[in-house]
Amino acid sequence: MKLKDIAGLIDGEIIVKGKADSIDIVSVCSSDLMSDVLRFAAKGALLVTALNQTQVIRTAEIADIAAVLMVLGKKMEKDMIELAKEKNIALMVTHLPAFTVCGMLYVGGLRSCLEE
């Protein structure tokens, strides 16, 4: 699923397009524990999180995650946005909670990183 389609599905706003603008995202992981993300994330996945710190972008880079989706309308600091641009990682935000977002993405055809 393309980034713009994901944004439309979950009423999201794309903050940084990153490399995910040109690829199909097929899997999703959801966690606020970056150690879990490092263990279970799949290459090119979408990370759903409420953690709005630069460590999320650094973890996404290490795990080769294509896009990060911030839930609950969390505000992102300028340094987080700049790091996402620098690392070419897409960044989105939605007002919805993670549980709702994951359900919508599943119904939309995306699967858990653990199901790959």
> Hunting for tokens 């989105």 — which residue is that?
92
Where do the domains of the chain lie? 1-108
Which pLDDT value is given to residue 52? 96
User: And the tokens for 5?
Assistant: 């389609």
Structural contact between residues 44 and 60, judged by C-beta atoms closer than 8 angstroms: no
- State pLDDT tens for residues 66-100: 999 999 999 999 999 999 999 999 999 999 999 99
| pTM to 2 decimal places | 0.94
CATH 3.40.1390.20 holds for 1-108: yes
Helix (H) or strand (E) holding 28: strand 27-30
* Six token digits for residue 53: 């710190």
pLDDT one-digit tens code per residue, 7-60: 999 999 999 998 877 889 999 999 999 999 999 999 999 999 999 999 999 999
Contact 52, 71 (CB under 8 A): no
